[in-house]
A and B are shown apart, each in its own frame.
Chain A
Amino acid sequence: MARMIGLRLLKLVPVLFLVSLATFFIVDLVPGDPARAALGPDATEAQYEAVRQELGLDASLVERYVDWIGSALTGDLGNSLIKPGFTVTELISLALPITLQLAIMGMLIALFVSLPLAIVAAYREGTAVDRFTNGLTAAFISIPGFLAGLLLAYLFVFQPEVPRYAWLALGLAVACGMFLTAARRVGDDLGRNVALWILAGLVAIGVTLLVFANFPSFPRTGFVRLTSERGVLDNLRSAFLPALTISISQIAVFTRLLRSDLIATLQEDFILSAKAKGMTPRHILWREALRPSSFSLITLAGVSFGNAIGGTVIVESIFGIQGVGRLIVNDGVIPGDYPIVQGGVLVIAVFYVVVNLLVDVSYVYLDPRIRRG
């Protein structure tokens, strides 16, 4: 076990080395003169030369790489060419929390939506609910991120009545479903459940109406930091649409995986025997069936999280948020501030690799079959 993890870590070293090498040399491919980026167009040739020297651009490639990676290992990614007095590390540490928050919120939304969806679909496999879920996930998986973002921006920002009434309809439908369940349970053996379902339906109606009455408005662009004095609510408001955009494709992936996983689990002997023992469906689903599936969900969530971190460029661009993706594109690639490009790409790539490693490791750890093999 430990040996296995050690081996994976060992394999990671050359990958990280190549990643850093590629990141570093990407810059040599990108056209443009760093000195010009730093000084603007009006400086003299002598000044450009001085800056090139100061940046060490005259040194050989190998020297420059060794120098850069040496500093990078100590957390120093160099200085921004264009933002004076700012180190790339500082800039990234300002942008990274935003990107992380969006990715985490997106994942939480996805889990929140896909868990009930997958459970219902799996439990009622083959019914209309299941087919609806299938169609929905197929649609969600096919929406390009930027299209989803623009659609959400259009609906929530410019046509706020549409999501507001959609929310009302959804909430009331859920409540109706709960009341129907209650009605069907009347005369069942467990009278307590009827009361519970009615209560749940009432709560659902209450929450629905409360949100409907106070439906928040969402900003088209901009981001309020979690630590900002403007407070958590403003932060959540500004993060909601981007996070929802990120979550769309994840909802599809999570739901699909969880549904097929659950269907397989529900066929297993221990479930069948639990059913035979007369356990309630709720108990079987939540206590027995979900547990084995949660492992693969965790790993999938990890992979998605890595993807989300790398994919926030689009979301940040649509919603005008200064996360790492935008930092790389708008402050790095476009003005030619190459230390930002190098640092940003390296940080994201390392993040990506490490998250994937953790996923692999957790998979090994959680899934006894692989551990044995």
Chain B
Amino acid sequence: MAALLLPLGAVVLWIALGAITDPTALRLAVAVVGLVAMYFGIDAIAKRLVSPTFETDFWLSAGWLVLVVLLAVFADLLPLAEARDPSLTLTQPSRERPDLFSSHPLGTDSQALDILGGVIYGARVSLQVSLIAVTVGTVIGGLIGVTSGYFRGKLDGGVGILTDTLLAFPPLIFLLAVVTAFEPGVITISLALALLGIPTYTRLARANTLAFAQREFVLAARALGAKPGRIILRELVPNVVRPLLSYSFIIVAVLIVAEASLSFLGVGIQRPTPTWGNMIAAGQGQLETTPHVVFVPGAVMFITVFCLNRVGDKARAAWDPKQSAL
């Protein structure tokens, strides 16, 4: 019976996005009702067809993330209306409201740029920035953490004070200070975010290293006369990297929000290059008259962060030995 909720919810969502045009609050509410109904419908179907313990929310989250990544990667191949170059939209209508059955399904912004396209290209920027930052953060923070965790002593103390110092700055203030000093672009923002992530990764890697350093295989390697560099790279890093990576989803979520916050404050990547943050910021002045310019990219961002958190929780439970103990 509950399976009927799926088509029912789809119809409700369809009404919200296509048939109702005003007011926005009503559209939002109806859309949410439709989505919730669809969720329960899918949940019921999946539990019957696959297994009663099927984690619908996890798989839906993973599915959304895959969808976002695919769209971002293949954005250029999609038949999207112009979303990046306002000189090509001079004759297009600005501030169109979302209408699924028009050439601008999610509407247009003040520059007549397509919001659906903007959201997809924005995903590309968000993913690029956060993946670069996470990679740099993991490598540098991880190596520092493993090294200081292995050697302990003065090095460890020094690293501890440095990470404490970096963490003593409220994250956003820290980012603002760093970003104002440089020209904002994908690389600089990524590096600033990486800098933000490094102390966290250092602490994580150090804590894990401390746990592994006392294990038999490390002690054995040391007894056999292996050099510290070899022990770190061959024995510790492979073991530390998994719990470290398990945090990546959550940290990507945090960094996406941080990048968007910078864009929102006007110090991130500048329009018309679309990012979720600068799209939201561009719409906030006209919140009253054209709320969709804010809330469409906002909703996409919220759903993405939500899914990253959900997937991240599961990844951490599966891969981080300390997490499962907590």
Contact = CB atoms under 8 A, between A and B. Distances in A.
Given A19-B165, A153-B287, A313 B177 contact: no
Given A150-B284, A155-B25, A318-B284, A349 B260 contact: no
A314 B264 CA distance: 9
Contacts of B169: 19, 22, 310, 345, 349, 352
B301 interface: yes
Contacts of A29: 177-178, 181
Interface string A95-133: 000000000000000000000000000000000000000
B136 to A, nearest CB: 19
Given A15-B164, A150-B287, A159-B25, A314 B172 contact: yes
Contacts of B302: 139, 142-144, 147
A30 interface: yes
B50 interface: no
Interface centre among A29, A143, A154, A345, by most chain B C-beta atoms within 10 angstroms, is A154
A309 B165 contact: no
Given A14-B161, A142-B253, A314-B265, A151 B298 contact: yes
A18 B162 contact: yes
B22 to A, nearest CB: 11
B298 A147 contact: yes
A33 to B, nearest CB: 14
B216 interface: no
Nearest to A144: B257
Contacts, number: 124
A277 interface: no
Interface string B25-53: 10000000000000000000000000000
B173 A313 contact: yes
A105 B177 CA distance: 27
Contacts of B77: none
A328 interface: yes
Nearest to B36: A135
A373 interface: no
Contact of A307 (B165, B170, B309): B170
A352 B177 contact: no
B261 interface: yes
Given A15-B164, A19-B165, A146 B170 contact: no
Interface in A4-62: 11, 14-16, 18-19, 22, 26, 29-31
A329 interface: yes
Interface string B168-207: 1111110011101100000000000000000000000000
A226 interface: no
A333 B178 CA distance: 11
Interface in A314-329: 314, 317-318, 325, 328-329
Interface string B278-292: 001000100110010
Contacts of A348: 170, 173
B310 interface: yes
B173 A159 contact: no
A146 B280 contact: yes
A353 interface: yes
B146 interface: no
A310 B291 contact: no
A170 interface: no
Contacts of A353: 168
B23 interface: yes
A147 B301 contact: yes
A373 B181 CA distance: 45
A218 to B, nearest CB: 14
A263 B227 CA distance: 47
B294 interface: yes
A298 interface: no
A348 B177 CA distance: 13
A144 B295 CA distance: 12
Given A155-B25, A158-B287, A22 B173 contact: no
A306 B295 CA distance: 29
B269 to A, nearest CB: 16
Contact of B180 (A30, A309, A311): A30
A358 interface: no
Contact of A329 (B23, B161, B265, B288): B265
Interface of B: 23-25, 161-162, 164-165, 168-173, 176-178, 180-181, 253, 257, 260-261, 264-265, 277, 280, 284, 287-288, 291, 294-295, 298, 301-302, 305-306, 309-310
Given A151-B298, A157-B288, A159-B23, 9 more contacts: A11-B164, A18-B165, A19-B169, A143-B305, A144-B260, A145-B261, A147-B298, A314-B172, A325-B173
Interface of A: 11, 14-16, 18-19, 22, 26, 29-31, 138-139, 141-147, 150-151, 153-155, 157-159, 162, 306-307, 309-311, 313-314, 317-318, 325, 328-329, 333, 341, 345, 348-349, 352-353, 356
Lowest 10 A-B CB distances belong to which pairs?
A310-B170, A29-B181, A142-B306, A18-B165, A142-B305, A144-B257, A147-B298, A15-B164, A159-B25, A26-B177
30 contacts: A11-B161, A16-B168, A18-B161, A18-B162, A18-B165, A22-B165, A22-B169, A30-B180, A138-B309, A144-B257, A145-B261, A146-B277, A150-B280, A151-B295, A151-B298, A154-B24, A154-B287, A158-B291, A307-B170, A313-B172, A314-B265, A317-B265, A318-B284, A329-B176, A329-B265, A333-B177, A349-B170, A352-B168, A352-B169, A356-B168
